[in-house]
Amino acid sequence: QVQVVESGGGLVQAGGSLRLSCTASGLTFDDYSMGWFRQAPGKEREGVSCITQSAGWTYYADSVKGRFTISRDNAKNTLYLQMNSLKSEDTAMYYCAATNLPSGCAYYRTASANTRFNYWGQGTQVTVSS
């Protein structure tokens, strides 16, 4: 049984930092590209960042580029998202998800991400106060 569990969310002031973690079990972690997604109240879920299986390639939404860093530790089956210079518009529920599709990160910013990514966590809330 595959489990994906996010942690590290919380309340932070604007300009502050948080590091999210996502641990996956029940799958061969390094066979999967991993993505971070977020959903703000009243908005659709959007792709934030994605990293390929071997961490050779990383991708970022324009809104977080230069502020967020995605990384992974395949030995620990763990994905990270370091978030710096946080803004109020970063407030959202953050989810991580896994895909074993070839070139899986090509889908993380598309409408089909919900189906292209096989496994999803329950999310961790990030709230940035201004």
Residues 15-32 pLDDT 10s = 999 999 999 999 999 999
Place of tokens 């999310």: 123
At 55 the pLDDT is: 75
Low-confidence winner among 48-57, 72-81, 120-129 (lowest mean pLDDT): 48-57
pLDDT of residue 56: 80
From CA 67, how far away is CA 18, in angstroms rounded? 11
d(CA 26, CA 86): 33
Taking only the tens place, the pLDDT of each residue in 96-112 is 999 999 999 999 999 99
Mean pLDDT of 106-125: 96
Phi then psi for 104, rounded to 5 degrees?
-55, -35
